[in-house]
Structures are given as structure tokens and as C-alpha cells.
Structure 1
Amino acid sequence: MESFYHEDLYTPIERIDIEELTSRENFVWSSASIYSISHDLEKTNDKQKIVQYLTKLDTDGQTLLHSQAMGTIRPNQHNILINTLKHLNKTEYLEFKNVLNRAEETALHVAVLNKNYAFLRLFATCGPNASYKCHRNLTPLDMAVWMDDFQAAEIIAAISTSQLTVELPKNFSIKGHHNASPNTENPISPFYQWGQMFTTQLSLGKVSTPQTVLFNHHQEHGVSNVQFGGNFALMLTDTGMIYSWGLCSYGKLGQYSKNDCPIPSQIMELKNKQITQIACGKDHSLALDEIGCVYAWGNGAGGRLGLNKTDVVSLPTMVAHFPDQVKVVGIACGQDHSMAVCQDGRVFSWGQAGFGKLGYSNPMGFQSTPRRVESIPACKQVSCGNWHSLTLTNGGDVYAFGSNREGRCGRELTTVESPPNRVIFDANIKIKKIGAGLNFNAVLTTSNMIYTWGNNDKGQLGVLIETKSNSTNNSRNNNNNNNYISVYAATLNDTYTYVPQLVKTLLPYPINNIEVGYEHVVVLTDAGEVITFGSNQMDQLGHGELLRDAGTFRKVEIQNKSTVFKIAAGNYASLVSLSSGHSIFGSEMAQLLKDERYYDLCLQVNSNRQETVKAHRFIVASRSKKLHSLLKMEIDRPNQNNKIPLTQTTFITTSTENGIIYMDFPSFTSIEPIKLFVKFLYTDHAPLVASHVQDLGILATSLSIERLSYICNITNYKSLETIPTSSLLEDFGNLSNQEYLDHYGDITFNVSSEKSSYQPINSIQKIKSYRAMLALRSQYFQMMFQGQFAESTKNEIDMYEVDPGSFNHLLVYLYCNSVPEDPNQCIDLLFLADIHQIPRAKELLAAVIRPSIDVESICSIYHLAIKLNVKPLVVWCEAKIPTMPNPQQLPEYDLLPDTVKSIIEKKLDQLNEKLNQLSIQHRQQNLNLQQQQEQQQQNTSANARGVGALNLQHYMHWCRQCSMHATSSNARQDVNSIYDSNFTRYISLQFLKMDQLVSNQLILYLKYNMA
């Protein structure tokens, strides 16, 4: 290869061709590689090669242009960028100015994030489209404004296509901007946070009063939780998306980019998952999805990720080391350990084992894969402090273990380390919510009372603990401010207690929920008010002042005294949400409101055809039985004065014109309540705009939309506890009923499992459906209906080589996210889900298939999972096959690709190597022990131990033979029982004087790795 000198590198580097570079296992655009390739880019006129240069993503998900925007090129190397831009200015390459990286960002977005002003100035001269929105729903100008970056904002605002869609701060002026006016249809985010926060300069600051969260997706997604780790944070939406921001050390942000991130950015690796819970340790994170899979990333030191290694893992990776048929339903993180609770009540823990916080002793000092906590009853919740852990049993009891300093484990201070121990409460007290803080705990009872115990030096217990030095009545009544609560409360430097204390101050308030930070508690009342108490050192109480009296309870003032629906607490920060909740299915359905291609219904006010809301009959009918009856009447007997009552004196009427049904709502002065009403029907969410909430409530009540009616009248009901649950998926499930298909179906499929159209008519099944729904939820149908195919204009479409039963299952999933319960039907449906490119369907199907995987089917399932890219099944099978007896003899093992076989065989070799190393270690340590004891004991004792060591090796060999020849699940259980009983007994009897550390290592290794 030709060599040349890089202008800023003093060593010659080889000219690298794009094909060679991208074929490397870890291909990353670097200063040297870009410089090398730029020479080819400058000289070539090969369009295909240029396109390849400009669009190729490296392993970090960046293109050549994005890498330059990140600042990976030295400032004085602008000639490289200029060479690139020369091509981008040519007509045939204009589209590549706006190419997206894997995080769905343009180069402008990346340059703003990295404050690369030199790149911005040069790139702005090329006229890129500055109106593109990234995955955060932000334009580059929006991003600059949020980051308080005046310099970047001025550069971008000078681009003719720039747009501003977020509120411009009063102190932020942009000189000479074009088309940069705020979008008035995008209201302020209804999520507020306070306490210790990350600034956009990646430093920690304090916010003393509720401030809006930097989140621009609030129209279709709501923030439900925020967790804080060491210099980073995670945010979870109620639609299952995760955002991270902060410092990127140890890969703890879970992002493709290895740069620090100043504003919340979606973790794209989990984009197609529906995440239900998140948890943060100091430098690691966990996420739990709807099918019970746990994902981990960050610092793996001490095994805290549960991935059987201690390396840094920068992208979310599934934790596969749970037993078969286990569905995880809850997760928690301490500083350097993790916990999970399963649907069957089993609790697992892993990570650093200090102070016994894992719930079991571990001679290694850490546990690198999930291991069951044996000594507690079945549980339903887990929570972690930094050095202790809590679990909540199905019966409402609390168990604590780990460090018992300051009584945090609910035991007398006779020992620092506490094994799993039931916390004693007053008689008949049962718990429904637990929360572990840094050095204290708070729990919520089934009767909505709060109990606390542990350290109280910051008033975090919310009670006064009587001591010899502090036994006076410390009652305080702040009548000068209505937000203060009269309280017999804790003061600074109060002591601790291991006995759970009732927080009597809050007894007058019906409690809906609690969340626990490091040293403070956030309380949500059933009336939607927020009360905080505990430490206010970082302004985490949201009182707007640094209260020296840390034990004071106070209501947090929320804008316009709005009702709060959700709360969160993390470390030294708090968050509230004014949103009643969104649905990921509803966020998809919202796209139909923007697509007018298939609408067949218009809603209007007072017969005004000039201003209507376009909708779809099948959606409106499925959500409202009353409107369903009205639509049926109009379809069966059009223009016959069909109507249903709205109020006692007014009626909703319908008429038909040119195939469109017009539905008229009298007595309203504005179309806005109708818009909000239709939005709720599609998404199960609508912003409660004060000027329209009364009319919206009238509509919802009259048409029996119970959830919307309740939310609109929440100030009258004043109870979060009794809000009706969402019926969105249940309602859309009606779309598979024949009555709905007959009236609203607009497309028919002639489905047959045969290959040819020349077949008996009775072998073809006619299946009706809804064109708009299919085009929305399936890329296959979207291409069919909206592309240049003949099917785009047909009302009947032939579908051959498709099983009618599987096709019906596919349609049901598209209507309401429901999958079959039969694993065999799920396997058939997997093929259709893959063809239609529906990744979430494949995950739901995998959850049904997994419990049925056995010795006979695991290889064929694994082969299928690889072929169809079903990642959960791939990971489960990869973790399971090496632990099976004699895996090379499994049925259909030969069908597996050679690369897969090599992975399995490598894991088997590693397993055997570990066993051999352990055996050598035992022999050596036993030999050392014998040599030491020979100096103190008689030769006969030493010889007896020598015979014992020989017997141990024979016994280990016998155990391995049993394991390798166990060919059924029953035989496998027999071997497990042998390990649990005979082998443990053998060790304890024959080697009682052996180094206990070594003995325990061997027992644990055989039980949790071979078994």
C-alpha cells in the first residue's frame, strides 16, 4: 500500500481503502482514516464510491460527516472537510448533507452538541436543511437554545431553513434569524424537576423551585421516572423510551457516541423495546422491558451488570443468566450491586457482596451473575440503598439485609452486617410500597400510612426521636405560609432508630404514593398534591429556599396549582408529572391524525364545513359505543337525519357527502374541544387546556368515555386512586369483531396457504381489515398501499402461501398488540412479523415461546431466532445451550451455523478450563495446608487429609460424568440435588478443616455454573 504523511501526525500512515476499512471488526472514523480516505474522495468521480464514503456508518453509528462534526478532526484540518463539502454541493449529492447517523441526528445536531463552531461555520455555507428534527424532536436551533449556546444559535439562525419550535428564553436573543419564531402549537412541557441537576455545561447545579424538564416529546410521551447515578441521569417515558445524559465514562450513558451528553438523548439500542422500569447505580444502569428482560450497561466492576464479566459494557446488553421460565417484574440498583424480583416471587441479586447486601455470603466478595436469595419468602418488590437492600413479600412483609448501621435493616445494633431479616411493624400493618434511601428507609402501608426508620440526621424520617439530649417538644406551626404543614417533626442531629416510626404529621393526608431519594422523601397525596421532607441540602425539597430546619414538611408549589399525577425521586433531586399518562400504542395512533390519506369521517361544530377534524370511522367507533351506533345508522341509512343525544336539549347528527360522513356537534363555540376529544380517542391522552376542559368534560361524560370524563373533573373527584384505567387496547381489540369489520372494513384479503391461484374457492379465506391501520403498523402494507404497486388501488388483494390462521393473528396484533398464547402459533407468527418488519411483535412472541424451550427444541429455536433476528431468543439460547449436558448431541445441533457452534464450544472450553483451574487451585491449597500442618501435627493426620484430597478429585470427576450424561430435565434435577446434598455433605464431613474460602468456592462453582 502507498504511504504518506498526515499533516498533523509525524509518522507515515497507510492509504486505506473504504472496503478494507469497513471490513474491520471495529471500524471507527478516526483522524487518520478520514484523512486517508479524503484523498480518494477528492480525486474520484465514481458516484457509487462517493455515496459509500458519505453514508457508511462506523461501529459508533457515525458517518464521515458526523465524525467531523464531533470534532474528531483537529481544528486546522479544515481542508478535509472542504474536500467533503465540494462533493456535497454537487446536485447529485445534495441529499447527503442531511444524512442521519444511527442516533437519528444530522451533522448540524452533532456539531451543536459538541460545540464545534468551526464545523458549523463551514457547513452552514453549504445550505443544509436546518429544519430537520432529531430523535429528541428538536431542530439544531432548538438544541442551541436549550444549551444556552448563543454562538451556535446565531450561526444556525443564519441558515434560511432554520426553525425554532421551543420557547425562546426572555434573555436569549438571536441576531438576524430567519423563520425562527416559536411554534405556538407546542405548549410547555408538563414535567417539573428540582434539586441537584446537570446543567447543559455538564456540571452539577442546584434548582430550588420546580423547573420544566428539557423534553420536547411531551405531546405524545410523558416523563414517568428520572433516576440519577454518578454524574449521569436516566429518564423513562410512560411510552417505554429511555433517555440519558451526563458524563459518558464507563459507557454508563448507553449511547453509541463516546462523548459526554449535555441534554437528554434517547438510548437508541432500546428504541424498539417497551421499557417499564429503570434503575441507576453509581456507574451502571438497569432497564426492564415489558416481557421481563433485564438490560444492563456501564461499569461491570464487581459483577454488578450480571453479565458474568467485569468489563465496561457501553451498550444495553440483555442479562441472560436467570433460570428458565423466569419473568422479571422489578429491578433495583445500589451503588455497586443490583437486584431483581421475578413473577413467581423469587429474588435475585448480584454485584459487590460487602456487608451481606446481596442477601447471601459470597467468598469471592462479589457475584457476577444473578443468584437467588434463598432465605426470604416470595416477594413482589425490591429496593436498594448503597449498602443495604429491602424486599417486599407477597404477604406485605418487609425483609432487610446488608449494613445495619444506624438501624437501617430494622435490627438492634448488635452487628454491622445483617442477614435477611423481617422488619417488625405494629400488629396488622401490611406494606404495599418500599423505598431504600442512602441510610434510611420509607414504606407505604396498605392503609396509606408512611413508616420510616434508620438515620435521621437530616430529618429524613419525618419524626422526632426522643433522646437524652433532645427530649423536648419540638412542635412547630408555620401559620404564615399555607404551604407549610403543622408538624411535630425531626430536627438536625437527631439520632437514629431501628424501629419503624409512623409519620404522624401526614396522617390527615390520604397518601397515593411515595418516592425515596438519598436523604429525602417525596409524597403524592390522593388529591394530586406534593409534600416533601428530609434533607434540603441540594434544594431537593423544592421549597425555594435552603431551610435550616430540614425536618419541615411543606407542599411544593406547582404552576397554576395543577394536579400532579406522578412523582419521582433520585439521589438529590425530585420530579413531578402533570400528565395522566400516555400509551406507546397511542403514540403510534397519533400518526394517523396527521395522515389524511384514508380518512372517511369529519367532525364539525355547528355545521361549519370550513373547520373540521378529519378522522377514521373504525377508530371513533371502537372507542365510543354511542358513536358506533350513530355511525352504523348513517352507514345503513345515509342522510336520514340520524342522531344521538349530546345533552338534554342538543343532539349529535350525521350526514354523508362524497363518501365522507360529517358528524356535527352543536352548542360548541370552538372546534378545539373536538380536536382534543378526537386526540384522546386515538391516543388515550389529551392536554387539559384550561379554556376547553369544561367542554371536553361534557363531551366525555355524554359519550361515556369514563377515563377522560374523570380526568376532566379531577378537581371535583380529588382522588388519583380511583382514576379509571386505560381501555385503549381493549377498545381497539373490538376491531377484530365481525360487526366492526362489516361496517368499517375497507380492504379484503383472499388468503390461502397454497402457492397458486388455481385452487378451489373453498380453500381461499376472505379476511377484511382496515387499510389505514395496516399501513400505519406494517412497513410491508405501507409499501403495498402507498407505493407504485397495483395493490395500492385495489379493494381486494390475493395473499398466497400464507396460513389464514397466522394472518388473522397478525391482524389482531396490528389492532391491539395481542399475541397468541400457544407457542406453536407464535412460531408461525414470527415469520409474518419478520416479513412485516414489526420488531416489538417478535419480542412479545419470544416471551411466549421461551418457557416452552426444552432439550428437544432448543437448537431449532436458536437457529430460527438467528435467522429472524429475534434477539431475546438468541441470547437465552446462547446462555442455555453450553450449560446443557453434552450439547453437541442435542437434536438438530448440526443445523446451527459454524460461527454459532464455535461460540458454544468456546463457552464449553471456558467452563472446563475454569473447572480445571479450580481443581488445580484446590490441590495446591490443600498441599500448602498439609505442609503447614505437618509442622504442627502428626504425620497420620496429614496422611488422612491427603486421602481426603484424592477422594475429592474422584468425587469431582463423578459429578462431571453425571452432569454430562444427564439427558433429561428430570435427570438434570437429580444431578442438582446431588450437588446440593451429597457433595455439600461430603465437603463438610471430609474437609471440615480445609480452607473454608476454597471449599465454598468449589461448592458455589459447581452449583451455579455446572448445574
Structure 2
Amino acid sequence: MAKLVRKRKSASLVSEGNVTPSPAKKARSDAQHHHSFESIRASRYKTINDKPTAKSTPLDLFVWGSGSMCELGLGPDAKTKEVKRPRLNPFLKKEEVGIVDFAVGGMHVLTLDKSNNLWSWGTNDSGVLGRDTSGQADKNLRDIDSVKDEDDEDGDLNEAESTPGKVEGLPKDDQIVRVAASDNLSVVLLESGQVWAWGTFRNNEGILGFSKDVKIQKTPVRIEELENIVQIVAGKDHILALDSKGLVYAWGNGQQFQLGRKIMERSMMSSLEPRSFGLKNIKFIGSGEFHSFAITRDGKVLAWGLNQYGQCGVDMNIEDGAVVGKPTEIKSLKGKKIVYITGGEHHSIAVSESGELYTFGRYDMKEIGIEKEKLPMDDCIVDAHGNVRCLPVPTKLTTLPPVNTVACGSHHSLAITKDGLVFAWGFADTYALGLGNLDEDIAKPTRIDNTATREHQIEIVGCGGQFSVSAGIKLDDEKVEERLDKIEQFEEELEK
């Protein structure tokens, strides 16, 4: 996700153009051979995962946070750059468009409507919007040149990027069932099991590319190596896909071992082709920004990738730049019946079958949602000054009612309770928590309670680098009162 700073300004990404690299002939040959071998091997496995079905319930869509890079999709007016509490998106009204699902990247959003149209908004430097916004960009540049005052902080946003628009070039005869978004890439899963994508991947050195032959892919194309896919998830600059046979595929940036395999410098471009890496009998996949997760059919939770703050939940290699080089079981989650797991830049959250939430990773921006006095200090790692650096052991969060799901931004998190209420915690300076003006980061999960969403049962949440998105259904007055009674009772019990 987009890197956070304590200032409410974002530096724009610089477009690198559609420069085509020259791929290594041997790497291409090896990749083709590998794909053929994997296809033959996969055909021998039994089907263990069902195909997902398309979502169909139209929802009201809400956005909030810092949107100086068009992340909020509220149009070009300068006053939409900072939204401190959830606000209804006026361009995607339930009665007219009917959004049924969405995915949030670092600085862009994809939304799917009831008619199988995909909408996008946000920064388009890497082609992630899947539509042409160049005309408006040229106009903005001319307008800037004509203004004497070079300080454009209060200027309007790019209209084409800040206003939701339909993605162009996707198949019309195949239903979209899931969407995913990284910092610089957009991905959709179709009912047929096909995967389509556009944008690019970046690594520590800059743009890595979309494929070995394409630097930036500006329109949707099919990922030919993948078929019978049932789930897709995105990290900061890598993608995981799970197929019906329980095999996991990964591609993108692998410099922190998030692809589950070692990427050699001489064959780095081969990482842009989806490959399996030995995982089988998998029923669920999840991802942080630089680390990844999988849940096996028998309930084991595996993690790999960057682990410098213990965000993999594995008690090893917890220091700057440390990684877990291959899928490794998170032993402290054994027997917890984990059904969902995700992460931010340096923290992670797992959800059990009954709605219990386990959190672990970095602490200094309150990412894990546990107040300092309630930390299990025997499990924490402290720095040279005695300050808590991280909590590498998954720890149950006791200050939340049972939850349905969670979402992680770079340094903040959102959780939806089974009653459709949203709680937020973590980094506060960008308004991504939806709690208004705050003087400090939020250590304890705090309920988002504002006029726009108070009467809604929230169904989906998503976190970007400096903003958040939710969607839900408006309840009748009786159900609203029942829900408030439940939450008040829970909060009273916590205080005892």
C-alpha cells in the first residue's frame, strides 16, 4: 500500500511509459516448460474448492480519509481531498448503479455493480484504472501552466481519475465474481475461472513490469497461465491465486520472499509469470503488503515473506529486513479454526470460525489494536529504549464483539462485527479511521459512529494506504435499536 507519513500530502507517482524490456530467452523457455508441467500435475488432483458465486445485493458505498491522489472518488472538487468521516459516494447510488462488491488498492478502488460493470477511480499513473484518463491529465497540465501561483495544494483534482468511470475491455459474456487491487495492479476473477489483469508491478528499484514483454498494461488482458481459479488476493506488489484443486500461484515482486520462492536477480523477470511453489490442499489464501498466508484443508495456517515485525506470526527472523523464506506454520494459531487472515505493511489479523480475532505484528502506530497496559509483555519484543517494537505472537483481541471480517491498510485496520458495525484502530493522521479529528493514534478498536452510516449494516470494508471504503444496507428503525442495545451491553460488560 502507499507509504504513510505524518503529513497530509502525497507525492504523485511518475509514469514510466510503455517501455518494453528485452526478456532472457532461456527464462522464457523455462517458464513455458514449467507451466506445461504444472498443468499436467494439477490435472491429477481432486477438486477441493468450490467456484465462488457472484454477489448480487446492491449496497450504499461510503468513503473517507485522505484523497489528494483521487483515492476517494468524490469528484474533482478540492474539498474532497480530506474526508474525516464516512461519506456516501454520490456517483454510485444504490438505486442507480447498485454496487455489489469492491476492492481497494494503495491509491485506487475497483467497484462491481449489479449489471456486471466494473468501475474504477484513483491514481492512474500505472494504468490501474483500466481506462483512458490521458485527455483530462493533459488539460490539467495546461491549467497548471496558466496559473502563476505554483502552490496547487488547494487545487481541484483530475476529473477523470477522481470520478468513478467504467473499466473498458473486459469480457461481456463472463460474470465477474471477485476483484482485487494492489498498489499498481488491478485483477478480476471471472465465473469461468479465468483471471484478467492490468497495470504493473513495482519493486525496490522502480517499475518491474506487467509481464516480460509489457512494462505497463493499460487495458485488461487475460492471464493465460491461470485457469479454474477460485480466489485472488493482492499484496502491495504481488498477487496470489488459488485454484479449484487447492494449488496456489504467485507472481509479481518477490524481493521479500512473498512469492513463496527465491527470486534470483538474473531471472527476476520470470517472477512476472504466475507459478505454483509447492503448496497444495489449500482452501484459503490471504496477503499482507510484503507477506502472504494460506490455510490448508486441515486447518493449518501458513505464512511467508517479510517478517521484520513478526507479521508472519512465526517466531523466527524478527529484525530489520528479516524474512520467512518458505510457507511455515503459525503454530500459535493451531486449533483456533482460522477461516480468514490478512495483513497490512507490518501487521496481520486472523479471524476464527466463531468470529474471534487474533492480531500480531508492529506496535508503534497501534496497528495491532491492543492497549499498551494490556499487552502480553512476555510475548513482545522491545527496542533498546524499552519501547514495544512488536508483538509477533497472534493474540486474541478481547475488546471486540464477534466479527465477520476485517481489512488492513498499511498501518490501520477495520473490523465488521456480526451485527454490521465497523470498528477502527491504528494510524490516525490521514483520517482513514473515520473517527474525525484525532490527536493520536488509536490503540483500542473504536466504533465508527456517524450520521451517514449509523443506520447501515455494513457488509464489506476495505483499506488503502491513507483512506478506507465500506458498503452496506440501510436497516429499519427497529433493527437499528436492537443493534445499539447489543453493543451497549457489550461495552458495559467490558468495563466491569
Task: Specify the TM-score bucket, using the shorter chain as the normaliser.
Answer: 0.5 to 0.7
Matched residue, 1:378: 228
Secondary structure of 2:126's aligned partner = helix
Deviations 1:557-588 (A, max 9, x none): 316xx33333222221122223334489x956
Deviation at 1:464, TM superposition (A): 3.0
Query: Does 2:352 match 1:525?
Result: yes
**AA matched with 2:183:** Q
Task: Pick closer, same or farther for the CA change 1:580–1:362 going to 2, 3 Å.
Answer: farther
Q: Give the Cα separation in 2 of the matches to 1:691 and 1:514.
A: 25
1:550 is aligned, of 391, 401, 407, to: 391
Matched residue, 1:431: 282
Matched residue, 1:269: 91
Size of the alignment, in residue pairs? Answer: 344
Matched residue, 1:689: 485
Matched residue, 1:498: 325
Matched residue, 1:241: 60
Task: Pick closer, same or farther for the CA change 1:276–1:540 going to 2, 3 Å.
Answer: farther
Query: Does 2:367 match 1:540?
Result: yes
Task: Pick closer, same or farther for the CA change 1:330–1:587 going to 2, 3 Å.
Answer: closer
Matched residue, 2:217: 367
Q: How does 1:532-931 map to 2 (within 5 A)?
A: 532-545=359-372, 547-558=388-399, 562-581=401-420, 582=457, 590=476, 679=479, 686-687=482-483, 689=485
Deviation at 1:389, TM superposition (A): 1.6
**AA matched with 1:381:** Q
Task: Pick closer, same or farther for the CA change 1:198–1:527 going to 2, 3 Å.
Answer: farther
Matched residue, 1:283: 107
Secondary structure of 1:492's aligned partner = coil
Matched residue, 1:255: 74
Task: Pick closer, same or farther for the CA change 1:395–1:359 going to 2, 3 Å.
Answer: farther
Query: Does 2:127 match 1:303?
Result: yes
Deviation at 1:296, TM superposition (A): 0.5
Native 8 Å contact 2:332 2:393 kept in 1: no
Deviation at 1:491, TM superposition (A): 3.2
Is the radius of gyration larger for structure 1 or structure 2? 1
Secondary structure of 1:548's aligned partner = strand
Q: Give the Cα separation in 2 of the matches to 1:518 and 1:692.
A: 33
Q: Give the Cα separation in 2 of the matches to 1:547 and 1:198.
A: 20
Deviation at 1:686, TM superposition (A): 4.3
Secondary structure of 1:689's aligned partner = helix
Deviations 1:897-935 (A, max 9, x none): xxxxxxxxxxxxxxxxxxxxxxxxxxxxxxxxxxxxxxx
Query: Does 2:310 match 1:459?
Result: yes
TM-score (norm 1): 0.32
Matched residue, 2:169: 321
Deviations 1:32-67 (A, max 9, x none): xxxxxxxxxxxxxxxxxxxxxxxxxxxxxxxxxxxx
Q: How does 1:139-154 map to 2 (within 5 A)?
A: none
Query: Does 2:295 match 1:444?
Result: yes
Secondary structure of 1:505's aligned partner = helix
**AA matched with 2:78:** K
**AA matched with 2:348:** V
Is the strand fraction higher in 1 or 2?
A: 2
Task: Pick closer, same or farther for the CA change 1:508–1:316 going to 2, 3 Å.
Answer: same
TM-score (norm 2): 0.62
Q: How does 1:114-153 map to 2 (within 5 A)?
A: none
Query: Does 2:116 match 1:292?
Result: yes
Native 8 Å contact 1:396 1:430 kept in 2: yes
Deviation at 1:373, TM superposition (A): 0.7
Matched residue, 1:401: 251
Q: Percent identity?
A: 26
Deviation at 1:445, TM superposition (A): 2.7
Secondary structure of 1:442's aligned partner = strand
Native 8 Å contact 1:353 1:361 kept in 2: no
Deviation at 1:252, TM superposition (A): 2.3
Deviation at 1:198, TM superposition (A): 11
Secondary structure of 1:460's aligned partner = coil
1:514 is aligned, of 338, 341, 347, to: 341
Native 8 Å contact 1:424 1:499 kept in 2: no
Is the helix fraction higher in 1 or 2?
A: 1
Deviations 1:644-667 (A, max 9, x none): xxxxxxxxxxxxxxxxxxxxxxxx
Deviations 1:343-385 (A, max 9, x none): 111111111255697763334x211111111112221222222
Q: Give the Cα separation in 1 of the matches to 2:201 and 2:216.
A: 5
**AA matched with 1:503:** I
Q: Give the Cα separation in 2 of the matches to 1:366 and 1:507.
A: 41
Deviation at 1:411, TM superposition (A): 1.7
Task: Pick closer, same or farther for the CA change 1:444–1:275 going to 2, 3 Å.
Answer: farther
Native 8 Å contact 2:362 2:389 kept in 1: no
Deviation at 1:692, TM superposition (A): 12
Gaps of 5+ in 1: 1-195, 205-237, 466-489, 594-675, 694-1011
Gaps of 5+ in 2: 11-56, 138-157, 373-386, 421-456, 460-471, 490-496
Native 8 Å contact 2:210 2:217 kept in 1: no
Native 8 Å contact 2:184 2:202 kept in 1: no
Native 8 Å contact 2:228 2:243 kept in 1: yes
Task: Pick closer, same or farther for the CA change 1:524–1:319 going to 2, 3 Å.
Answer: same
Matched residue, 2:242: 392
Q: Give the Cα separation in 2 of the matches to 1:384 and 1:321.
A: 21
**AA matched with 2:167:** V
Task: Pick closer, same or farther for the CA change 1:412–1:250 going to 2, 3 Å.
Answer: closer
Query: Does 2:275 match 1:421?
Result: yes
Native 8 Å contact 2:201 2:237 kept in 1: no
Give RMSD over aligned pairs.
3.4
Deviation at 1:549, TM superposition (A): 4.1
Secondary structure of 2:349's aligned partner = strand
Secondary structure of 2:91's aligned partner = helix
Native 8 Å contact 2:91 2:164 kept in 1: yes
Deviation at 1:505, TM superposition (A): 1.0
Secondary structure of 2:407's aligned partner = strand
Deviation at 1:421, TM superposition (A): 0.8
Q: Give the Cα separation in 1 of the matches to 2:390 and 2:322.
A: 15
